[in-house]
Amino acid sequence: MKIYKEFPKDKPDNKLLDKVDFPSDLKQLDIEDLPILADELREFLLYTVSKTGGHFGAGLGVVELTIALHYVLDLPEDKIVWDTGHQAYPHKILSGRKDKMDKMRQLDGLAAFPSITESEYDAMSVGHSSTSISASLGLNEASQLLKDGKTVFSVIGDGAMTAGLAFEGLMHAGHLDRDLNIILNDNDMSISKNKGGLSDYLAKVWASKSYKKLKSSGKKVMKNLPFGLHISRTLKDGLKSAVMPGNLFEDLGMHYIGPIDGHDVKLLVKTLQRMKEKTEPYLLHIITKKGAGFEPAENERIKFHAISKLETNPPVSKIKFQDIFGEWLCDKAKQDKKLVAITPAMTEGSGMVNFEQEFPERFYDVAIAEQHAVTFGAGLALGGMKPVVAIYSTFLQRAYDQLIHDVCLENTDVTFALDRAGIVGEDGPTHSGNFDISFMRCIPNIVIATPSDENEMRILLNSCYEYKGPAAIRYPRGSGRGAEINKDLSIAEIGKGRKIRDGEEICILNFGVLLDRAEEVANELNYGLYDMRFVKPLDHELIDNLIQKYTKIVTLEDHTAVGGSGSAVNEYLSQKKILKPVLNLGLKDVFPPHGSRNEILTLNGLDVEGLKEQISKF
């Protein structure tokens, strides 16, 4: 493998890669050419991602695997389901999208993840973790029922294997005993450092003397063992035990192969060819290195999980909402010894690195296990602690039953910090947090706060934490307007809004971080403007006063207009039997495309000019 030390400044001259636009082109190459192609593909990936930004380290780690899969399978008739999709950029390059990589994650360009609307080579649209085994099992079972002879492979990382959904799929696959093929891409890394029993189990494989001996001896035994002669089960188990510290996957009903070197493309081709010939469920365990072939990414795998596009003169960055949360968390923990913090594998993304270092005994990274994170938090609260669950809005969807049944039904004292709420931007619809108000607002007992800027976020974080019961505060990705932050731990009254300005005829009720836009419109057109702060409980007293003063009401939110904050206002007016013209401004009832956050907000008419136009028509 060729090692690159920096991003290529000029488009690489790739003699082999230039000949490959689709998997059928790849099959024309000799197997001896594939290591050279891997170097060229890796260099091209470095060049394109440096121009567009995006998920990075995972793709570098699966270059050889991607080539081997495309070389062996008959795509698109055969299917590859990429778990989460962070690692799918090399797949896109080899499946007809090489010339579009310069528009990755941009409006009207390629999606950041596999998408069935983008290419027939993408078997499933993905973005959330741990879905690949269940999905590929369904695809495989459909092929069995239709007798169309398709081969299905799923590629799942060791981080994604920590989720319960992955094991549900594994157990069903073992029960059905079909010719499903699963590749466990083990790079000891998800987004954060992997945690939990499975990570410890796989670490034992890495550290075992048997594995090290196999790796240094050319992997001859492991290459032949899974597809060898018909030997007795006892002998096979004996050989397996000599290599593995345990038989976890075998016990779940899968034939286990590995671990093998995931960067040996010729070995991968031969192994995949043998797996394709079999009619039983197999799990191939490959060892790879996240960021492989790019020295900075190999050395700092967390930093290079995803990158922004390289800019000569990058803009001066403001403090991010996630960092405000992290600072508040540490400040509050010094004051309250009962505070404990929970994250489902998002330590860095949620701004919790300093908390982990300062309060390791009160920090819990539960791996990619959102359902467990929420119920674990409920248990901590019932036991007398004060848990704060930091979770992305889009990932709280995965723990909805636990939110209702284990937290809100019991009126449990758990605080939720919902990062990446509203439009996320370049990562597209799988990561946008535009449904959380709707699915939380209908649950009894919960408080929902919508801070409008950085200072409000700190105030409302503290307010929600001090509330004795379930409370959630939602805030977006990135930075806000740049408001000065008061570092004390003051609180606001739950369910009470605040006046920004008086006006005439029309009043805007703002919920969340679009306040700066609303303020510009209100100042120019002399509208009233109120920052509501809370969606639930809604400030009924304030609304009662406003409907006496203003002839029309406008609600504004960075969230779907269906069932959102505006709907809460409509419901209250309906209950009071008040007929008042109300305009609900929010995200349209469609899944938002990928593009910059401002571009997507503009498409939804939530920029300053769009707001003025919609209110004028109203």
At residue 201, does pLDDT exceed 80? no
Euclidean distance between CA atoms 346 and 162, whole angstroms: 14
| Rg (alpha carbons) of the chain, rounded to whole number | 26
Residue 534 counted as domain residue: yes
Mean pLDDT of 511-521: 98
Q: What angle do CA 293, 294, 296 make, to 5 degrees?
A: 145
The single-letter code of the amino acid at 25 is D
DSSP state of 177: T
Question: On the CB side of 373, how many CA atoms lie within 13 Å of its CA?
Answer: 32
Mean pLDDT of 115-129: 93
Euclidean distance between CA atoms 252 and 170, whole angstroms: 7
Q: What is the pLDDT of residues 27-55, one digit of tens each?
A: 999 999 999 999 999 999 999 988 888 77
- The tally of domains found in the chain comes to 3
Element (H, E) at 156: strand 152-157
Alpha helices (H) along 164-208: 164-176, 197-207
Question: Among 216, 534, 198, 138, which Cα is nearest to 367's?
Answer: 198
Question: On the CB side of 148, how many CA atoms lie within 13 Å of its CA?
Answer: 14
Q: What integer pLDDT is reported at residue 238 of this predicted model?
A: 45
At residue 315, does pLDDT exceed 80? no
Euclidean distance between CA atoms 94 and 106, whole angstroms: 20
Contact between 403 and 525 (Cβ < 8 Å): no
Q: Which residues are marked as active site?
A: 290, 370, 398
Q: What integer pLDDT is reported at residue 211 of this predicted model?
A: 47
Euclidean distance between CA atoms 512 and 28, whole angstroms: 55
pLDDT mean across residues, the chain: 89
Contact between 42 and 60 (Cβ < 8 Å): yes
Q: What is the pLDDT of residues 150-171, one digit of tens each?
A: 999 999 998 888 888 998 999 8
Mean pLDDT of 77-97: 94
Least confident of 33-47, 93-107, 178-192: 178-192
Q: What integer pLDDT is reported at residue 219 of this predicted model?
A: 44
Asked if 263 and 398 sit in the same domain, the reply is no
Residue 255 counted as domain residue: yes
Asked if 331 and 302 sit in the same domain, the reply is no
Asked if 330 and 292 sit in the same domain, the reply is no
Asked if 153 and 78 sit in the same domain, the reply is yes
Q: What is the pLDDT of residues 322-364, one digit of tens each?
A: 999 999 999 999 999 999 999 999 999 999 999 999 999 999 9
Q: Max alpha carbon distance in the chain (Å)?
A: 87
Q: Regarding beta strands 498-501 and 528-531, do their DSSP bridges make them parallel or antiparallel, or are they unpaired?
A: antiparallel
Q: What integer pLDDT is reported at residue 400 of this predicted model?
A: 97
User: What CATH number is associated with residue 515?
Assistant: 3.40.50.920
Listed residues 307, 334, 350: the one ending a domain? 307
How large is the angle between the packed helices 265-277 and 34-52, nearest 10 degrees? 100
Per the listing, tokens 């590629």 go with 155
Q: What integer pLDDT is reported at residue 246 of this predicted model?
A: 44
Asked if 531 and 612 sit in the same domain, the reply is yes
Range of the domain at 536: 498-617
User: What CATH number is associated with residue 214?
Assistant: 3.40.50.970
Q: What is the pLDDT of residues 208-218, one digit of tens each?
A: 544 444 444 44
Buried (b) or exposed (e) across 515-537, using 16+ Cβ within 10 A?
bebbbebbeebebbbbbbbbbbe
Mean pLDDT of 529-542: 98
Q: pLDDT band for 248, please (50, 70, 90 cuts).
A: confident
Asked if 299 and 325 sit in the same domain, the reply is no
Residue 423 counted as domain residue: yes
For the beta carbon of residue 302, count every other beta carbon within 10 angstroms: 18
**CB within 8 Å of 372: residues ≥ 6 apart:** 164, 344, 366
Asked if 203 and 148 sit in the same domain, the reply is yes
DSSP state of 294: B
Q: pLDDT band for 301, please (50, 70, 90 cuts).
A: low
Euclidean distance between CA atoms 191 and 290, whole angstroms: 10
Q: What integer pLDDT is reported at residue 457 of this predicted model?
A: 97
Mean pLDDT of 5-26: 91
Residue 158 counted as domain residue: yes
Asked if 251 and 330 sit in the same domain, the reply is no
Q: What angle do CA 54, 71, 171 make, to 5 degrees?
A: 75
Asked if 327 and 408 sit in the same domain, the reply is yes
Question: Among 202, 205, 117, 120, which Cα is nearest to 156's?
Answer: 202
Residue 12 counted as domain residue: no
Mean pLDDT of 9-23: 92
Residue 83 counted as domain residue: yes
Q: What is the pLDDT of residues 408-454, one digit of tens each?
A: 999 999 999 999 999 998 998 999 999 999 999 999 999 999 999 99
Asked if 393 and 504 sit in the same domain, the reply is no
Residue 2 tokens, joined: 């060729």
3-state secondary structure of 487: coil
Euclidean distance between CA atoms 56 and 45, whole angstroms: 8
Q: pLDDT band for 314, please (50, 70, 90 cuts).
A: low
Higher pLDDT, 571 or 259: 571
Listed residues 252, 280, 307: the one ending a domain? 307
3-state secondary structure of 327: helix
Q: What is the pLDDT of residues 219-245, one digit of tens each?
A: 444 444 444 333 333 444 444 444 454
SS3 assignment for 427-457: CCCCCCECCHHHHHHCCCCCEEECCCCHHHH
Residue 210 counted as domain residue: yes
For the beta carbon of residue 589, count every other beta carbon within 10 angstroms: 9
Residues of the chain with pLDDT > 90, as a percent, come to 73
Asked if 356 and 503 sit in the same domain, the reply is no
Residue 568 counted as domain residue: yes
Asked if 129 and 193 sit in the same domain, the reply is yes
Q: What is the pLDDT of residues 466-491, one digit of tens each?
A: 999 999 999 999 999 999 999 999 99
